C-alpha cells in the first residue's frame, strides 16, 4: 500500500534489541527489524525508494523491489534458527553452509561453512572455542579451504572447536579485511557457542582480501556460463578457467609472466613451460612411460579445456604430434586467446564428441603411443566429475586399448566422490587392461590411473618414467615440479589387476 503511494521505506535490523533479548533469555532470538515509512507527496510516475540496512555502522542498500527486502528478512530468520541450534549444541558432524549478503544481487556476497572439529564431536565434548577464517579471493579452491577434510585440518591448525570458514564470492567488491570483518561480525557472532566467552578472532592468510581479476566472461551452449580470472597465489599470478555451474572447480590454470620490452613497455604472456595443476604432472609421467622426448610419437588427448596440458606436453615431446579432441568450440577460443595454445602441425585440435572420435579412430586403424582422458562431466548431479560415464563404458575402454601401440599407455584423470562408482570404474578398467596402477593425490580430488595393454613391471616402468620426466624438465629448461619425485610417485602408487591395491613404497 505504501509503495503504491510513492513513500520511502527503510527496513533496519535492530541488533541492540537482539543483544538485550539474548542476555535476558540466554539464547539468540529471531531477528528484530524496524520498518520506517516516510511520507512523500505523490508525484506522477514517481516510485518508492526502498532501502535495507542489515549491518551495524554501514550505509543502507537501495533495492529494486519489496521482494528483495522479504528475501533478506527470511534469510536472516533462517540464519537465526540455525544459530540458535548451534549455540546450544554441535552440528552433529555435518558442515553447515550458509549463503549471506544477497541484497540486489543474484550471487550471495559471502558463503560461510560452519565446521565443528571431528574429534570434539566423536568425544561428545562441549563445543567451546570459536574463530572465523577469511579465505582470500582466488584461494577458495585450495585443499585446505575447498574440501571438508581441508577445513577440518584448518580448524585443527586454528586450535578451535568450531571454525566459520568465509568465502568471498565473485561478482562483489571487497576493499579490505577490516571492512569484511566489520560487515560480518554480527553474523559470525551468532554462530558462537554459548560456552565461548572470548572475543572471536578473525584469521586469514596474509593481510589483504586477495586479488580476483576478471579477464573474460563468456557463455557456451555446451558448458554454460564461464569465466577467465587472474589471481595471486604463492607469489605468482595465475590465470584460471571456471565453469560457473561448478564455480569452485578450476578447469584450467596457467601462470602469467610479465616482462619489459626494449621500449620499456610491459608485456604479459602465458607461461606454457610450467604446470600449475599437480595432476597434470602425474599425467606427464604416464606419457614418459611410453615416449622418449626426441621420439616422433603420437599422443591423443580427449578434453582440451584451456589447453595447458597440451601446450606443456608440446614442449616436452617436440617431435611428437598431439591430437586434442574437444566438444565445446568455446574452449578452443579460450585456449588460444587466453591460455597460449598454438595450433600447428604438431598441435592439432578437433571439435568433436570424444566418444565418436574414439570409435572412428578405432575403425580407421590409427594407433597412438599415449591416450589421455582429461575431460569434465557436464552432468554435475552425479558423483563423477571427470570423465563422463560414457567414456568409461566397457566398449569404449576396449576401443581405447585397441588404439594403443603394444608399448603404449592409457592415462585417465578420474575425479569421483562416489565410492560405488569408483569401484565399478576400477573393476571395468582392470578387466580391460593387462596392467593397471593409480596415484591418488593427497591434497586434490584427482586420481591418475595408468593402464597398459600388456603385462609390465609397473614399479620399474614408472620409476624410469619419473626419471625421464625430470631429465626432460632439466634439458628443456622447464619449470621445476616439486611434486614429481620418484619417491612420491612410488609412495602414492596403488596397484590394480587383483594385486590387492596395496600402497607400494620404494
Question: What CATH number has the domain bearing residue 320?
Answer: 3.40.50.150
Task: Kindly state whether residue 505 falls inside one of the protein's structural domains.
Answer: no
Q: 416 — phi, psi (to 5°)? A: -140, 125
Q: Does 360 lie in the same domain as 235?
A: no
For residues 412 and 449, what is the distance between their CA atoms, to the nearest angstrom? 5
Q: Does 191 lie in the same domain as 307?
A: no
With contact defined as beta carbons under 8 Å apart, do 324 and 301 qualify?
Answer: yes
Task: Kindly state whether residue 423 falls inside one of the protein's structural domains.
Answer: yes
pTM score of the predicted model = 0.77
Q: What is the pLDDT of residue 503?
A: 33
Q: Does 197 lie in the same domain as 261?
A: no
Which residues pair with residue 348 across a beta bridge? 323
Q: For residue 418, what are the CA distances in angstroms to 252, 337, 355, 425, 445? A: 23, 36, 23, 11, 12
Q: Does 129 lie in the same domain as 200?
A: yes
Q: Does 462 lie in the same domain as 313?
A: yes
Q: Does 141 lie in the same domain as 222?
A: no
For residues 213 and 289, what is the distance between their CA atoms, to the nearest angstrom? 39
Task: Kindly state whether residue 504 falls inside one of the protein's structural domains.
Answer: no
Sequential pLDDT tens for the chain (506 residues): 667 777 888 898 888 888 888 777 766 788 889 998 888 777 777 777 888 887 776 678 888 788 888 888 887 787 777 777 676 665 556 788 888 876 556 688 999 999 988 877 677 777 788 999 999 998 888 888 988 888 999 999 999 999 999 999 998 889 999 999 988 988 888 888 877 778 899 999 888 898 889 999 999 999 999 999 999 887 788 999 999 887 778 889 999 988 877 777 878 889 999 888 888 999 999 999 999 999 999 999 999 999 999 999 999 999 999 999 999 999 999 999 999 999 999 999 999 999 999 999 999 999 999 999 999 887 766 788 899 999 999 999 999 999 999 999 999 999 988 889 999 999 999 999 999 998 887 666 789 999 999 999 988 999 899 889 999 999 998 888 764 554 555 555 666 654 443 333 22
For residues 65 and 419, what is the distance between their CA atoms, to the nearest angstrom? 46
Q: What is the pLDDT of residue 37?
A: 87
Task: Kindly state whether residue 350 falls inside one of the protein's structural domains.
Answer: yes
Which of the listed residues 191, 209, 227 is the one where a domain comes to its end? Answer: 209
Q: Does 160 lie in the same domain as 112?
A: yes
Q: Does 309 lie in the same domain as 451?
A: yes
Q: Does 407 lie in the same domain as 446?
A: yes
Element (H, E) at 279: helix 278-288
Which of the listed residues 248, 270, 292 is the one where a domain comes to its end? Answer: 270
Question: What CATH number has the domain bearing residue 164?
Answer: 3.40.50
Range of the domain at 324: 278-495
Looking at residue 504, what DSSP letter applies?
-
Length of the chain: 506
- Helix/strand/coil (H/E/C) assignment for every residue in 317-336: CCCCEEEEEECCHHHHHHHH
With contact defined as beta carbons under 8 Å apart, do 428 and 414 qualify?
Answer: no
Which of the listed residues 160, 178, 209 is the one where a domain comes to its end? Answer: 209
Task: Kindly state whether residue 250 falls inside one of the protein's structural domains.
Answer: yes
With contact defined as beta carbons under 8 Å apart, do 339 and 363 qualify?
Answer: no
Contacts of residue 363, defined as CB under 8 A and 6 or more positions apart, other chains included, come to: none
Q: Does 312 lie in the same domain as 242?
A: no
Task: Kindly state whether residue 453 falls inside one of the protein's structural domains.
Answer: yes
Name the E strands within 353-496.
368-373, 384-386, 404-416, 435-440, 446-452, 493-495
Which residues pair with residue 51 across a beta bridge? 10, 62
Q: Does 471 lie in the same domain as 445?
A: yes
Task: Kindly state whether residue 318 falls inside one of the protein's structural domains.
Answer: yes
Looking at residue 210, what DSSP letter applies?
B
Q: What is the pLDDT of residue 324?
A: 97
Q: Does 282 lie in the same domain as 389?
A: yes
Number of domains into which the chain is organized: 4
Task: Kindly state whether residue 503 falls inside one of the protein's structural domains.
Answer: no
With contact defined as beta carbons under 8 Å apart, do 252 and 306 qualify?
Answer: yes
Amino acid at each position: 500500500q505504501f509503495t503504491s503511494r510513492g513513500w520511502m521505506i527503510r527496513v533496519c535490523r535492530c541488533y541492540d534489541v537482539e543483544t538485550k533479548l539474548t542476555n535476558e533469555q540466554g539464547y539468540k532470538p529471531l531477528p528484530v527489524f524496524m520498518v520506517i515509512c516516510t511520507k512523500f507527496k505523490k508525484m506522477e510516475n514517481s516510485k518508492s525508494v526502498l532501502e535495507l540496512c542489515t549491518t551495524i555502522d554501514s550505509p543502507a542498500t537501495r533495492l529494486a523491489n519489496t521482494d528483495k527486502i522479504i528475501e533478506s528478512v527470511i534469510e536472516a530468520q533462517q540464519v537465526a534458527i540455525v544459530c540458535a541450534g548451534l549455540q546450544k549444541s554441535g552440528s552433529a558432524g555435518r558442515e553447515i553452509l550458509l549463503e549471506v549478503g544477497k541484497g540486489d544481487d543474484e550471487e550471495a556476497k559471502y558463503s560461510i561453512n560452519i565446521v565443528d572439529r571431528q574429534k570434539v564431536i566423536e568425544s561428545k565434548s562441549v563445543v567451546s572455542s570459536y574463530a572465523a577464517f577469511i579465505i582470500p579471493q582466488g584461494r577458495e579452491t585450495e585443499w585446505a579451504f575447498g574440501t571438508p577434510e581441508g577445513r577440518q585440518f584448518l580448524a585443527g591448525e586454528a586450535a578451535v572447536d568450531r571454525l566459520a570458514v568465509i568465502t568471498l564470492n565473485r561478482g562483489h567488491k571487497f576493499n579490505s579485511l577490516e571492512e569484511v570483518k566489520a560487515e560480518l561480525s554480527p553474523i559470525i557472532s551468532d554462530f558462537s557457542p554459548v560456552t565461548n566467552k572470548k572475543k572471536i578472532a578473525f584469521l586469514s592468510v596474509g593481510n589483504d582480501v586477495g586479488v580476483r581479476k576478471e579477464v573474460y566472461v563468456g557463455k557456451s551452449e555446451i558448458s554454460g556460463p564461464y569465466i577467465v580470472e587472474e589471481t595471486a597465489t604463492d607469489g605468482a599470478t595465475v590465470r584460471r578457467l571456471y565453469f560457473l555451474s561448478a564455480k569452485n572447480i578450476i578447469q584450467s590454470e596457467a601462470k602469467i609472466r610479465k616482462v619489459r620490452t626494449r621500449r620499456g613497455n610491459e608485456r604479459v604472456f602465458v607461461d606454457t613451460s610450467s604446470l600449475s595443476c599437480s595432476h597434470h604432472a602425474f599425467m606427464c609421467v604416464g606419457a614418459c612411460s611410453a615416449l622418449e622426448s626426441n621420439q616422433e610419437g603420437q599422443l591423443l588427448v580427449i578434453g582440451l579445456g584451456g589447453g595447458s596440458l597440451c601446450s606443456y606436453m608440446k614442449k616436452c615431446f617436440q617431435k611428437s604430434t598431439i591430437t586434442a579432441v574437444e566438444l565445446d568450440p568455446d574452449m578452443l577460443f579460450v585456449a588460444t586467446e587466453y591460455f597460449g595454445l598454438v595450433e600447428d602441425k604438431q598441435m592439432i585440435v578437433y571439435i568433436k564428441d570424444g566418444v565418436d572420435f574414439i570409435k572412428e579412430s578405432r575403425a580407421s586403424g590409427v594407433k597412438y603411443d599415449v591416450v589421455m582422458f582429461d575431460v569434465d562431466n557436464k552432468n554435475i548431479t552425479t558423483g563423477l566429475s571427470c570423465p563422463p560415464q560414457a567414456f568409461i563404458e566397457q566398449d569404449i575402454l576396449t576401443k581405447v586399448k585397441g588404439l594403443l601401440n603394444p608399448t603404449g599407455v592409457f592415462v585417465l584423470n578420474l575425479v569421483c566422490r562416489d565410492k560405488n562408482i569408483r569401484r565399478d570404474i576400477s573393476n571395468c578398467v582392470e578387466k580391460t587392461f593387462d596392467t593397471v596402477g593409480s596415484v591418488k593425490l593427497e591434497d586434490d580430488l584427482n586420481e591418475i590411473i595408468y593402464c597398459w595393454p600388456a603385462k609390465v613391471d609397473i614399479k620399474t616402468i614408472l620409476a624410469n618414467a619419473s626419471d625421464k620426466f625430470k631429465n626432460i624438465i632439466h634439458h628443456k629448461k622447464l619449470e621445476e615440479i616439486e611434486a614429481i619425485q620418484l619417491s612420491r610417485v612410488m609412495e602414492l602408487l596403488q596397484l590394480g589387476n587383483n594385486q590387492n591395491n596395496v600402497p607400494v613404497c620404494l
